A and B are shown apart, each in its own frame.
Chain A
Amino acid sequence: DAGVIQSPRHEVTEMGQEVTLRCKPISGHDYLFWYRQTMMRGLELLIYFNNNVPIDDSGMPEDRFSAKMPNASFSTLKIQPSEPRDSAVYFCASSYPKGDTLNTEAFFGQGTRLTVV
């Protein structure tokens, strides 16, 4: 398997524009996670899905952020409108159960570096 695939790798956009980040999880993984990494706050969980259903979106910072998972092989994270403070690296990760359904090992994509100017 090619691992978790994210696109684009880099995105530069102007404030106010809509940004869509994409993720293809590892085939067979039941869980998909979106994380954001900044120097100030480190890695933070934004939202995660189980079997395409959003389970916990308490980390989504504002209504400007939304995420979807229309099928088991694709997810999007959308920011509309984007602001300079959204500049960060956004990671997608997927995982599968190890025995206990909560005992999961996570695998990360290469990330999307977003710059909002």
Chain B
Amino acid sequence: KQEVTQIPAALSVPEGENLVLNCSFTDSAIYNLQWFRQDPGKGLTSLLLIQSSQREQTSGRLNASLDKSSGRSTLYIAASQPGDSATYLCAKNAGNKLTFGGGTRVLVKP
């Protein structure tokens, strides 16, 4: 069974719509959960880190929530822009090393 799952694998929305990206994970004994953005051919850029004691974290138009009991995290991106088009990955930290989901590829259409 996948430890970290991201559904859907791909998502297309019109510009201005809010984005909701889902991440589910097994084993609630995590230290933190990290959201990354990856542009084609590029590395991973850290967006938000939610510690296990937190329920949400915000940075600009981005808001991430964490519900350890249900094994879920959600990344919200408000008022999406074409520049938000990228692959978004979540990763759980259950003891230093990160376990990644498969990512959600997002396309924001102008």
Q: Give the nearest-CB partner of B45 in chain A.
A: A108
A-side contacts of B93, CB under 8 Å: 102-104, 106
**Cβ of A116 to closest chain B Cβ, rounded Å:** 18
Check B43–A108 contact: CB distance below 8 A. yes
Q: Does B110 contact A (CB under 8 A)?
A: no
Given A48-B97, A104-B96, A43 and B89 contact (CB-CB distance below 8 Å): yes
Most chain A beta-carbon contacts within 10 A, residue among B51, B89, B97: B97
B82-110 Cβ-contact flags toward A at 8 Å (1 or 0): 00000001010101111111110000000
A-B contact pairs, 23 of them (CB 8 A): A33-B97, A42-B101, A42-B102, A42-B103, A45-B97, A45-B98, A45-B99, A93-B44, A93-B98, A95-B96, A98-B51, A102-B93, A102-B95, A104-B31, A105-B32, A105-B49, A106-B91, A106-B93, A108-B36, A108-B44, A108-B45, A108-B46, A113-B41
B-side contacts of A110, CB under 8 Å: 42-43
Most chain B beta-carbon contacts within 10 A, residue among A95, A104, A113: A104
